[in-house]
Structure 1
Amino acid sequence: VVSGPGGFFVCENIKEDNLSRGRKRERRLEAVNVHIPDSECLRFPQDSLDELEMDDYWKEIENIESSGEGHGRAGGEGETQEEEQQKAPEEGEHEEAWLTEAGLVRLVDDSLAAEDHEEDSAVFLSTLTRTQAAAVQLRVSSYQQTLLRRRNRQHLPDVRDIFRPPEKNEEPPKLEEGSDKDATTAETEMELNVEVAFSEQALSYRDNNQRLKVNNSSLNSSDDKLPNFKLLRDKTGQTRVGDLSPLDMKKVRRLVLVEMTALFDTAGIDVKANKPGRVKSKESGLFGVPLITLLDQDHRRVPGTKVPLILQMLIRHVEEEGLDTEGLLRIPGAATRVKSLCQELESSFYDRTFQWKQVKQHDAASLLKLFIRELPHPLLTVEYLNAFIAVNKLPTKKQQLQALNLLVLLLPEANRDTLKALVEFFQRVINHQAKNKMTLNNVSVVMAPNIFMFKGFRSKVTEQQEFSMATNTANIVRLLIRYQNLLWTIPKFILTQVRQQNMESQRKLYKDRAVRKLLKKITTDRPLDKAIPEENTQGFIRVQAPQFSKISMAIQLTEDLQASDVLTRFLSQDSSVSVKKEDLCLYEIGGNIKERCLDEETYMKDLSQLNPAAEWVIKAVQR
């Protein structure tokens, strides 16, 4: 995949004989060693991206090309994927799509407002940081100018009316004390500040480094020299993907889109989403089936499935046969055998008659890679593929990691869960590198073309562009694997903005006199939707577990009380509960959040002070 001004382009798979492919690989290596200066190359090896590692990348490309996938589906002869050429976007189309996705298109044209964007735009805008607001303002202004030219009418709201300038006694939001250090420290900085917006930190970094240029040498880190980033511990608990209710996740996604755009804006990187073309894909089966369709099939057999069953089985088979196989993922299985196994799986997988014992390690790994490549749309989505590649342009590893965190949160749930299962598997392969000889770099180089190359759009590219594609995409895969424990978390500043939106929405609701009059019959006027429980004001919380019993526990809040202590006390008091502690979660419900599963290390007194109107409920975790 090569990023360009008109979007992205994907290498066209071309059949070649073995001799011509070998010569092509030699020319590619020559380009690495001779034609591309070190200052222009993105390299990230043990010492550098050496010829052997690059050769593995080109061999993987050749394995894909030689399999004949460019001329037919692996699942059967004659099945082809119908493609539609990507049309050049019309003026303002990118801005309109962005505003629509952020739920803000009504700011410029009420006729385009989607019915499901019921969230008040004023509430949303009131919680944005200065960099986030600037990102929105830029796109609103650009789209307004487009509409004026397109419709030749003057009845559009002025962008200055949407973003009220600060009053005299107001000051623009500032970074918290100590955050300047977080934004400007060297690449060896260990801690990630998630309380201050990433774009605000990047702005501070940029302002303190006016002469900073994108330094590609920042990628020259070996496996063991990549910074060992860790999150600053938050007493109110870490929030991972899946911990929030769908309503709050909807708010998270809108905020993340704006924040991601603002982060790239601070670095002067213009990232525009691409529209997926219409692709005629299979409506059933295993390979070449859209993720959503595949999961719908699986749900009918195993309710609650989040990762396709076929992918789970392929991973399980590889691990059961042992992860010590040398060259795992790198050495391909026999093409004819892989094709035959693919056809057998299509016909007998769901019948449970497929003979897994016949599948060799390298064949199973090849089937796994085939499954990823055969997805009608890329796993990282057409919309955000450009943004994933553009991460390499950000000036520091910290900003690259922050951008990837936001992009992972933007992925559709099915794509995000599948990607997570893959990178966890890749890490387990790397853990056995002493025997299988697959380091972080090796796995990244081999898997990059499988994750980033797809059949939606095709265009021939130069060999120099191919090299750029190799280094860019392999580096992204490397970061996804290396920092996976951080990427599937929701930054605290995003969650804080969600809480602010919820509180602001409640305040606006209670300003309505009719509602206030109705509520007056129930209780006295209050800023939150529920009165603060009396126990909270006396240093206690009341914990309920209606799913298991009618027990209601009053627990005294202490400085050291954590969510795990609450679960332990519940299990000790109710012997009838046979569920394991790890299958339970203490939930924060109501107040300024809809519903949140708490990290076991959450300090309850701190969280109770942050959300005094919340209820505390123990429920079984849905995995």
Structure 2
Amino acid sequence: RKKGGSQGKISFLCRRSGQYTMNHENSKKTPDGAPFDRSGSQDSLDELSMDDYWKELENIHETRGNNHEEQEALVVKEPDEGELEEEWLKEAGLSNLFGETGDSLESMVFLSTLTRTQKAAVEKRVETVTQTMRKKNKQHQIPDVRDIFRLQNDSKGKVCDGIEPSTVRTSENKNETQDEFSLGTDDRSSPLEDTRLSETAINLEIAFSEQAASLKDSSVGRVGKAGGDDTLLPNFKLPKDKTGTTKIGDLAPQDMKKVYSLALIELTALYDILGTEFKQQKAAKIKTKDSGLFGVPLAVLLEQDQRKVPGTKTPLIFQKLISQIEEATLETEGLLRIPGVATRVKSLCQELEAKFYEGTFNWENVKQHDAASLLKLFIRELPQPLLTVEYLKAFQDVQNLPTKKQQLQALNLLVLLLPEANRDTLKVLLEFLQRVIDHRDKNKMTLKNVAMVMAPNLFTFHGFGSKSVEQSEFVMAAGTANVMRFMIQYQKLLWTVSMYYFSSSA
């Protein structure tokens, strides 16, 4: 397969022993000897932005070929559908539905707070688990969740637009209680009416899946279709609210646990409504390093870093590499795109492993492009991807959702589902990338360019083995770059917690 611009072409010709062989034809070299083929014209940079993606992949493969030994490949488990959905129910906080104790009261209370589309998502999974258990002659007695919903609906009655009322939801933000409200009341517009008012306003009072259900068979709201000209992204914004907006950092751990359960159900319901398959992936346990910097699990890194700097939320080496890049200047042309010299990056990596925690590493010897290469190396060498094994495919599939608003809504839910360490590290990374883009007049790195360069480092996770790598590289290249672009552009919205997550019965 070939992909390239007018001045350079990258040809992926064959695979040998699980590695891709790449030919770079007619390329120029930077003074450091690294491949770099660009004119100074910003128009040229935009035209060749996909070439940025393929060149970044070439640099990644070259680095792996010259770097330390490959990590043990992750093996993604393929459980049967029943096991998958049973695990989903457990993570959604509904394990009591099929627990040995038979006590489903807590689950029933939780179910009573769900919307119509969320309930449908739960019903679908419960039905799958039930059928699987029957086939295996298991003795768990799972109550028919549809009967539970039916009883609840009979007692509540019907409301307009087909949206069933949930319990009154409240939210606390910095010790300030928001006014109570309930969905579907007479003085509140329907999701469809709200969309007519503003296609760029993000409604946080009504579940995203309910909004998608209302618009599914309507021509309203199609201006934001994901296809077509994608040069300009909509100016999505949150409606002003006198009570303020709740962010992830405003919530206590016990509240985030509840938000996680609802976000998982809501994301599943949204994907169901939009016809996109949502399945969490699971990776087999592998042997990982229990100390060091590169190729170390985030949780291990933070544990050792917090002994040195109590309260730190992102790895110290990650923070230092970003500050090293910024101290030089963010106006350097080709920042993040021009790779460091592979042999020097390898040497720096080894020296950092030995001297970073001792405080004897000499940062004056680290060139800016080398620091940028080390930052990208750190991200892609994580034993499990920054976006996690569980949700990496769901992040990739965001590109398949019909409208840009729905893509943004899905990304918001996925961020809520990330472990705290992954979420905090992603946030710092996205903020740094935006600062790079803010200097695009000088460094020639637009949003599109940065997304193209960074997407391979987050989405082509080599630990999955050749099959997933091949799919990511050849089939999903442009799509994952667009997802990366969305995460950078709308990062301030991604850490927002919708008001409908909060229930008076929670």
Distance in 1 between residues matched to 2:271 and 2:44, nearest whole Å:
27
Report the 3-state secondary structure (helix = DSSP H, G, I; strand = E; otherwise coil) of the residue aligned with 1:303. coil
Aligned to 1:584: none
Task: Please point out which of 197, 211, 223 is paired with 2:207.
Answer: 197
Q: Give the alignment's TM-score, normalised by structure 2.
A: 0.83
Change (3 A) 1:170 1:83: same
Equivalent residue letter for 2:136: R
Name the aligned partner's letter for residue 266 of structure 2. Answer: E
Residue identity matched to 1:130: R
1:351-386 deviation per Cα after TM superposition (whole angstroms, max 9, x unaligned): 111111111110000000000010000000010111
CA distance in 1, matches of 2:471, 2:303: 41
Structure 1's 249 and 227: CA in aligned 2 closer, same or farther, altered over 3 A?
A: same
Describe the superposition over 1:150-186 as per-residue Cα deviations: whole angstroms up to 9, x where unpaired.
Answer: 116584422333323422760133654153133467x
Whole-Å separation in 2 of the counterparts to 1:462 and 1:253: 29
SS of alignment partner, residue 242 of structure 1:
helix
CA distance in 2, matches of 1:112, 1:82: 41
What is the CA–CA distance in structure 1 between the aligned matches of 2:499 and 2:332, rounded to whole Å? 41
Q: How many Å separate the matches in 2 of 1:159 and 1:47?
A: 57
- What does residue 192 of structure 2 align with? 180
The residue correspondences of 1:488-567 to structure 2 (distance < 5 A) are 488-495=495-502, 497=503, 500-502=504-506
8 Å Cα contact 1:190-1:229 kept in structure 2 = yes
Note the 1:560-599 alignment, pairs <5 A.
Answer: none
Match of 1:125, as an amino acid? Answer: L
1:423 aligns with 2:430: yes
Displacement over 6 Å in runs of 4+: 46-50, 210-214, 461-465
Alignment equivalent of 2:217, drawn from 201, 207, 223? 207
* Residue from 354, 358, 380 that aligns with 1:351: 358
Q: Of residues 158, 162, 170 in structure 1, which corresponds to 2:144?
A: 158
- Residue matched to 2:118: 132
Which secondary structure does the structure 2 equivalent of 1:375 belong to?
coil
Whether the 8 Å CA contact 1:148–1:154 is kept in 2: the answer is no
Residue 454 of structure 2 corresponds to which residue in structure 1?
447
Task: Give the superposed CA RMSD.
Answer: 3.0
In structure 2, how many angstroms separate the alpha carbons of the residues matched to 1:119 and 1:447?
46
Structure 2 partner of 1:386: 393
Correspondence 1:141 to 2:127: yes
Question: Secondary structure in 2 aligned to 1:21?
Answer: strand
User: Partners in 1 of 2:135 and 2:401 — Cα distance?
Assistant: 34
3-state DSSP of counterpart to 2:292: coil
The CA deviation at 1:49 is 11
Structure 2 unaligned residues grouped into runs of 5+? 1-14, 28-41, 159-163, 166-182
Q: Does 1:167 align with 2:176?
A: no
Contact 2:321 2:372 in 1 (8 A): yes
Give the direction of change, closer, same or farther, for the CA distance of 1:260–1:461 in structure 2 (3 Å limit).
closer
Contact 1:105 1:112 in 2 (8 A): no
Calculate the TM-score normalised by the size of structure 1. Answer: 0.68
Cα gap change, 1:360 to 1:212, in 2 (>3 Å) = closer
**Residue identity opposite 2:200 in structure 1:** M
| C-alpha contact (below 8 Å) 1:183/1:204 kept by paired residues | no
Counterpart in 1 of 2:97?
Answer: 107
Gap regions ≥5 residues in structure 1 = 1-10, 26-45, 503-623
1:211 CA drift (Å)? 13
Q: Residues 334, 111 of structure 1: CA spacing in aligned structure 2 closer, same or farther, 3 A cutoff? A: farther
Aligned to 2:230: 221
2: CA distance, partners of 1:384 / 1:138: 20
Q: Which residue of 2 aligns with 1:90?
A: 80
Structure 2 Cα separation of the partners of residues 189 and 210 of structure 1: 9
Please give the alpha-carbon distance, in whole angstroms, between the structure 1 residues aligned to 2:92 and 2:391.
Answer: 14
- Aligned positions, number: 452
Q: In the alignment, is residue 121 of structure 1 matched against residue 107 of structure 2?
A: yes
Distance 1:398 1:251 in 2: 25
Return closer, same or farther for 1:12/1:177 CA change in 2, 3 Å cut-off.
farther
Does the CA contact (< 8 Å) of 1:192 and 1:229 recur in 2?
yes
2:23 is aligned to 21
**Contact 1:283/1:289 (<8 A) preserved:** yes
Q: Distance in 2 between matches of 1:102 and 1:464?
A: 29
| Alpha-carbon contact 2:222-2:403 (below 8 Å) kept | no
1:119 deviates by 9.0
SS at match of 1:283: coil
- Residue 265 of structure 2 is aligned to residue 258 of structure 1: yes
